[in-house]
């Protein structure tokens, strides 16, 4: 596997605060290539051999805006089994519904654009239903839960110019922890 040359923006870059634009179809060759590159990058970042060789921080998701491209597209690569991955290519997502139950990631959320340790909890919905378009422009619906629900919300925030660190209360980073379930 060859590591794609992706330039992931750092949180200090103002572009990350832009609201991404609706995507029209058909997708351009460049967009398709970027999606392929993101899948390869995220997959390699989760395989120890490659993450060590290329000094990659493991990443599960990446939004186009993190590459400086303000389009409503994100990709999530989930390792479902050792060396076996499921890819989610989500274009123009809209949250249709969500659970009342809130969860948070026990070891804390991370982000390929935030290159520092961040303490605190990020409240997320335990489950949600999302409408999106696939690479051909077909409208689809997906129900996500637990860690994939967190990943979807994290990436959807990126499309709206929001970083996970914005959701942590600076005065009380573990605020309302007892009202949520840790995953």
Catalytic residues, by residue number, are 155
> Structure tokens of 17?
């605060």
* Ranges of H-type helices in the chain: 29-46, 48-53, 146-159
Alpha-carbon span 99 to 97, nearest angstrom: 7
Residues in contact with 144: Cβ distance below 8 Å, sequence separation at least 6, in sequence order? 127, 128, 129, 130, 151, 152
């Amino acid at each position: 596997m060859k590591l794609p040359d992706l330039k992931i923006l750092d949180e200090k870059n103002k572009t990350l605060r832009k609201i991404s634009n609706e995507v029209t179809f058909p997708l351009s060759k460049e967009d398709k290539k970027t999606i392929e590159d993101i899948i390869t990058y995220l997959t390699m970042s989760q395989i120890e051999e490659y993450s060590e060789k290329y000094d990659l921080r493991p990443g599960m998701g990446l939004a186009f805006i993190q590459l400086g491209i303000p389009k409503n597209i994100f990709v999530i690569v989930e390792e479902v089994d050792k060396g076996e991955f499921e890819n989610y290519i989500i274009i123009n997502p809209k949250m249709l519904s969500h659970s009342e139950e809130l969860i948070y990631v026990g070891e804390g959320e991370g982000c390929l654009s935030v290159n520092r340790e961040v303490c605190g909890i990020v409240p997320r919905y335990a489950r949600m239903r999302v409408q999106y378009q696939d690479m051909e422009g077909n409208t689809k619906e997906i129900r996500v839960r637990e860690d994939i629900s967190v990943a979807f919300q994290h990436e959807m925030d990126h499309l709206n110019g929001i970083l996970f660190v914005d959701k942590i209360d600076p005065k009380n980073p573990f605020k309302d922890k007892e009202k949520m379930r840790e995953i």
